[in-house]
Structure 1
Amino acid sequence: MMESNIQNITTILWFVTPDIRARGSYKRQAQFIESLAKYHKGNAWDNTIIVTKGDQSSNSDGPRDAAKEIARDISKTGEFKILLLESLPPTNIYVKGKFQSDELNEYGVFKASEPELILAKYESLMKGHLECPICLNLKKVKCSKCCEETDPRLAFPKCHLETESFHPNTENVHNGNVIDNHPFSYSYKHSDRYVEARTRYDFDHSPPAWVVRVATIGIVNPHCPAIENGYWNCCHNNDANSRGCKAFYPCCGNDIHSSGCQKIYDVCRHKCEETGCLTICKNCKKKLDEKGCKERCKNCKNENSCNIKGCIEIPHNWL
């Protein structure tokens, strides 16, 4: 209707099939017919014909009863109960009786081979409709929650629930910036070997020593023993158990001023090659407990739901 810009309807043909279980369906259809006359000053049911197809024996008044609950007046509502002769079994009285067409038509039985008689029946029921058509006054509006853009009376019955934010993709990362690091604290060591203590013999300059040298014509040359303490060759510290004179990192052996021997993240302290310890959104780089960077329908989980057909029967939100 919207595409063809139809603003007036001459006749509403309500096709129904008798079914005792269809009461709810009849009522919904009657409500739709009533809604078409929302902007009509007259009564839409004056231009409505209830066309009942098939067996008339079961609940044939169901549609009319449903209309009575909805409409204010259905006294001028047409009713056409039609049964096609060709659909009846050979044992049916209308088939066995071999009645003439006009006789069959009196009982609502028509032949499919005579569509002009069916059309004539419609035309008789539509008398006066052309002079007082139903004004639709269709208005195209957009639903904010789905793709429906039409008159609310003609809208698809399903819409979307309210949206929820979410993160579309995730990734594991580390927390902080990459820095150089030594896994162990620095220690101390000596950079050279330890020279062990030894006994040193020095020339004896004492008078007795010289007497011995003269008396032995220099054969005996007295010396005085002296203890020379051990020391570290690098720093000449005499303490063999000293902590060392040079700071270094035991993890790599480099001195204290060297850059780290491994790369880690300064906040989480994990190595670069380890699996990330923090899960974030790959799209917006936020943590998953923060508001998502995209939105979707809470029910069907479709993104951009405002441009997709509805997924659940709830009212539209017309703009």
Structure 2
Amino acid sequence: MPKIKTILAIGSTGLGKTTIARLICEANAEGSSGIESATKEAIIYETDKYLYIDTRGFNDSFGINDEEMFHEMMRLLQRHGKNNIFNIDMILWFCSESERMTNHLQREANFIQRLIEYTDECKPTDLWNNVLIITKGIFPLHELVDGPKSAAKAKIRPLIPNFGQISVHFRQGKCKKCDAVGDPRLFSTRCHSTASIFKHSVKIEKSHPEQIVRFHSGAKFLSHDPDEISIKEYLKNKLYGFDISVISHTVFPLLTTLAQSDLDNSCLLTAGSSLLAVICVEGVKYYFDTKNIKCKRCKNSIGEVGCIEKCDNCKKEWEEDGCDIGYKCCKEKEEKPGCQAFEKCTICQEVAIELKTKGCTQYCAKCKETRNTPGCDPSFKHDVIMN
């Protein structure tokens, strides 16, 4: 497979750089009108035989100086190089036939000469031996142009293999303060301040600070645990005329649940500090003052303030497992959104109600932008690490 030849085109606007790209490389490129450059930035056209680098015109109207234009071109070469080396087979320098040894031409020559800075063991004579100067003249009739174009194409193509190769060598590094990567000689003149500030990248989120637990959803109330022996003795004295087995079988199971729930055949009535037990036995209602019935735990009358905390929803003691499930912090269900606002760093993932630790991200003290972003001030020097 034949080796691809690389051609670098340099010169002023309107002298045919893009036209030659179409002639030699058969590139699909738009030419200029001669007033404004058609090439807004350095660009590469590639075919199976040629790699053609079309650069900006020196006298274009886009406000870029020679240094920036040179760096733009060299960065393009570095991106398309292999192992930080880009080989050039020929340099085409486009000049106007009306120009003499002027400052304008000297400026363009210096531009080409600067390639020496990026070559190893390449002498200026070796560089200029690879330069082919192309001038543009004026033809009296438009129909005569096609002939010279064909002739130029026929003349230039055979010359390309006779030129030696120029190897442009690049360095590889990066700035620790800004986004500059590549050859440090081609870095932008702007960098960030050495002075830094550290901040978190904060995002406000809501979450639950406590875990899901079982809890009592009802209100807390105080109750007693009636003493069965006290009840039995009390009823013995009050329910005379009933068989004791009937009393034990019918009344005792009812009284042991009086403080827990309302039953169809028993209830508790309160009036001031008095507590009455209402019991239905064989269709007859009996009312009893319970001040003599004692609490099994505190030994006080069950008519007094209770000693046991209970839930009025499930009637279980408050210390037992709850009757509902939810977050301990707010009692909301698992699917409900968080009840507490937190600050979360999107970079280090640190979370707190208010992040007060030293930030995880370094920012430029002048422009307040992060490191690895375009520099903000030409007075700041790059801090380069070479690869």
Bucket of the pairwise TM-score, normalised by the shorter protein: 0.3 to 0.5
Relative contact order, higher structure (CA 8 A, sep 6+): 1
Taking structure 1 as the reference length, what is the TM-score of the superposition? 0.38
Larger Rg: 1
